[in-house]
Amino acid sequence: MTRTAAPVMLVIAVALGGAVGAANEPEPLPSGMESLGATTSSDLARALAKVRRHYGDDAIVIESQLLVNAMRSGSVRATEVSVDGVRPHENKKYLVFVVDTGIIFDSTTRDETTRIHMLWETIMAPTLEHVHALRVPADGIAVTMRYHHRPYRRL
């Protein structure tokens, strides 16, 4: 099984005035939910409050919607979303989200382009419907979605 990370938010970042890529000097990241595992509601509330303090309410909306939409989109493995901090790229700063979708695609029926389109349509587009005015401490956002793919056996 192959694990792939797709920079699905490249289109949105371009629309916001730049392109998204690798970071040079990352800020310290205070994400919260990536290491919670099975957790109590008070732990989750603390993690969300930490993200809100550092990145604002829209970061909470985006993080939550990415998680919910990934889980609704056919994830069969663990699904996780983290805020990876603000990263610079070409004189712009982007708030970076990393999504482990938990999705395993059949690589014999879905090529990379199709997989990225599916991630966009089932996870990103519904997430962006909940963001009315992007208010984050950056020029835009970037989202990397990780997924798995392998050829399925024919029965």
Give per-residue pLDDT as tens, 41-100: 788 788 889 999 999 999 999 999 999 999 998 888 889 999 999 999 899 999 999 999
Residue 155 lies in a domain: no
**Number of domains, the chain:** 1
User: What phi and psi, each to the nearest 5 degrees, are found at residue 85?
Assistant: 90, 180
Residue 92 lies in a domain: yes
Let me know: does 149 contact 27? Beta carbons within 8 Å.
no
- Describe the strand order of the beta sheet including 80-89 as a list of residue ranges: 2-6, 140-150, 92-106, 80-89
Q: What 3-state DSSP class applies to 114?
A: helix
- 88 or 31: whose pLDDT is higher? 88
- Does pLDDT of 154 surpass 80? no
Q: Could you tell me where the beta strands, DSSP code E, fall in the chain?
A: 2-6, 80-89, 92-106, 140-150
Residue ranges making up the domain that contains 15:
2-19+29-150
State the average pLDDT over residues 6-28: 40
What is this structure's pTM? 0.74
**Cβ atoms < 10 Å from Cβ of 82:** 20
Residue 79 lies in a domain: yes
State residue 37's pLDDT score: 54
Residue 55 lies in a domain: yes
